Amino acid sequence: MTARINHRVRAILLTGRGTILLIKRLRIGCAPYWVLPGGGVEPSDASFEAALARELDEEIGGSAKILNEVFYTEYPGIDEMDGWTIQHHYYVCLLDGYDLSRRSGPEFSDPSNGEYLLDEVLLEPAALDAITFLSDEIKDFLMTHAEQLRRCWSPAPTFA
């Protein structure tokens, strides 16, 4: 049997102000949690980087310079993804800017999905430790590499 792999891409989105841009998820019946912008790789995407650029356009109405993939996680799918292997590919990116009025995508059209709030969080271990990430692996990575990540950026971008 051929392994079924679902590839997903995520942006470690550095703002140039010593912060990282995250999505704060608010869902009925759940405590707030934070995720990195990104999503699934579509068959029409030419590459993982192209998928990430598309997802950033949809989720934040913006763009970023994609530097490189820094790690990936892999785990078995559950519920509707049972029988699949889920791979998340994480990229360090430098935010060019964003415009909330340009956000689009299926997650924004159904109110039962909850809210997707953009949230800049200080790229410091104490600030990162104070929030709940959906993924422990990304929280550990960010806390361990916060200093190196802050040094990746030079000029600050513009925002609408």
The model's pLDDT over 98-150, given as tens digits with 9 standing for 90+, comes to 999 898 877 777 788 899 999 999 999 999 999 999 889 999 999 999 999 98
Q: Which amino acid is at 149?
A: L
Domain 4-150 -> CATH class: alpha beta
Q: Where are the domains of the chain?
A: 4-150
pLDDT in tens, 20-66: 999 999 999 999 999 999 999 999 999 999 999 999 999 999 999 99
Residues 6+ apart with CB under 8 A from 130: none
d(C-alpha 84, C-alpha 42), whole Å: 16
Task: Please give the structure tokens belonging to residue 25.
Answer: 């998820």
Contact present, 38 and 9 (Cβ < 8 Å): yes
